[in-house]
Structures are given as structure tokens and as C-alpha cells.
Amino acid sequence: MPSSPRLQGKTALITGASRGIGRAVAERFAAEGADVVITHIRDHSISETFIQNLINISHSAGFPGRHLAFEADVADPAAAGATLQRVVAHFGRLDCLINNAGIQAPTPGDDWDDATFARIIDVTLMGAARMSRAALRHFQSRPGGGNIINTSSVHEIIPKPGFLAYSMAKGGLGNLTRTLALEFAASGIRVNAVAPGAVVTDMNASWAQDPEARARVEAHIPLGYAATPEEIAGVFAFLASQDASYITGQTLHACGGLTLFGEFRTNWAS
């Protein structure tokens, strides 16, 4: 943990944060002094205990610890405005939006159904666009600029065969990041993305809990292991902080080297 609290007095909203990467980001932001709002859908593990844990983290770092959690589906067109209103009513302002909610399911290029495809795009890409629109309006309604961080993926740039909708959504998040960064830089608003590779979360339960399958996945990662959500959370804290004050429009790959063309670790051509 850094010695000086970088997010003291900031209010951060993290979508899809009842577990996995979002949850780790919420905990890291609480430890660095932020007031944290998390949203999720249908996650019954969200309870008083979840918020109490965030409060305990804040208190042990010497902060008041004002946190909030509620259900809001980012794919619901009405949810973005309502979520922002609720945050501002509770905390008076929002400083940092983290568009983290994302889902994936197989969508082979020649065999996908419209409903599944649309849901993946709607949650993973359109949800981020709608939440950003609401946050941008708020950021410009008061002094101080603002900060948006999208949870992208190495599949922003590496194709994921069999997962066309997810690849398209993450590719789109890259353009969302760069376009909004350029459009709103003059308003003091920074927009960046964090692109993880393989992270041990429920999304990856199929291989993360199976030692043989996990070893096969990890063999592809130049650093040799799948990340913990906590390793990814620190990158969000950096981008949200003044340490990153001159960074906008960037996707920061936190992927253990996956984007370095690992198959070329040893030369196999001329």
C-alpha cells in the first residue's frame, strides 16, 4: 500500500463490483481514502458484511469510510442516469467512474444468436457508454474535471476466436476510451482503460479451480501466472490518482506480458 493516500476525499463509482476485479478495486480505493459506490446485478453475496468490510478497510487506514452498494443493470438504458442521481444525492458529487461490468459467453462467428450477442454488447460496451454519458454531464456541471476508467481486456487488441461479441465489445471499449479522452480533455476529464489478461475470478472458474487447466492457461503467460484481482486493482488506483494526471486516452495492459506475442519467446522463424 502506498504511504500517502492518493484518493482521499474522492467519490468513486465502480460498476459490477460485488466480486472479482471490481470488488478488489473497491477495496483498494477504500484503503486509499475514497468513498466507494458499487453496483452489481443479482448478487446475493452483497450484504451488510460486504459494506462492513469496506468500512473496516477505510477505518484501519484512518478514513471515515462512507460506502454504498446497490443493484443496477448497466444494460438498462434508464439505469445510468438513475445511478448517477443516487450517487450525487448520497455523496454530493462523483469524481471517478469505473466501467467494470462485463460478461462473456461463446459466440462463434458462424453460430451465434441475436439475444446472446446483444446482451454481451449491451452490458460490456453500451453500458460503459451510457454510464460515461451520465458521468460526463455531471463532471461538466461542477468544477474539478473528472476521471473515467474502463475495464478493457487484452482482447481489446488480441482476437478471441469463438467469442466474437466479447472481442467486439472490448475493441469498442478501446475506441470509447480514446474518443472520449480527446473530446473532453479540454474539460479536465481524463479517460483511460485497464486491460487485464487472465485473472483468477469467478468469470474464469472453468480453469482457475482446475490445477491442470490452470497450468495450461498459465503456460501462455510470459510472467508465468494468472493475476490476482488485487494486482489489477493497483493499476486502477494509479490511473485514478494525481500520479496519472498527465495520462489520458490510454489502455494500460496489466496482462503479465500476454500482449508481447508470447509465442515468440524463442525464435521459430529466420
26 vs 189, which CB is nearer to ligand NAD?
A: 26
**Cell output for 90:** 448520497
Per-residue exposure over 66-83, b if at least 16 CB sit within 10 Å of its own CB, e if not: bbbbeebbbbeeebbeeb
d(CA 137, CA 116): 31
CB of 61 vs ligand NAD, minimal distance in Å: 23
Alpha helix positions (H), the chain:
20-31, 48-60, 79-91, 114-121, 127-140, 164-184, 205-208, 211-218, 229-240
Nearest-angstrom CA–CA distance, 201 and 226? 10
Closest C-alpha among 251, 194, 199, 250 to residue 221:
199
Q: Considering beta carbons, is residue 43 or 63 the nearer one to ligand NAD?
A: 43
Q: Which residues bind ligand NAD (CB under 6 A)?
A: 15-22, 39-41, 43, 73-75, 100-103, 123, 151, 153, 196, 198-199, 201-204
- Mapped onto helix, strand or coil, the DSSP state of residue 98 is strand
Active site residue 166: yes
Residue 39 C-beta: closest distance to ligand NAD, Å: 5
CB of 7 to ligand NAD, least distance (A): 20
Q: Rounded to the nearest whole angstrom, what is the least distance from the CB of residue 110 to ligand NAD in the complex?
A: 23
> Which lies closer to ligand NAD via its Cβ, residue 182 or residue 205?
205
Which of the 8 DSSP states describes residue 169?
H
Q: Which of 166, 184, 236, 238 is catalytic?
A: 166
Any idea which residues carry the catalytic annotation? 166
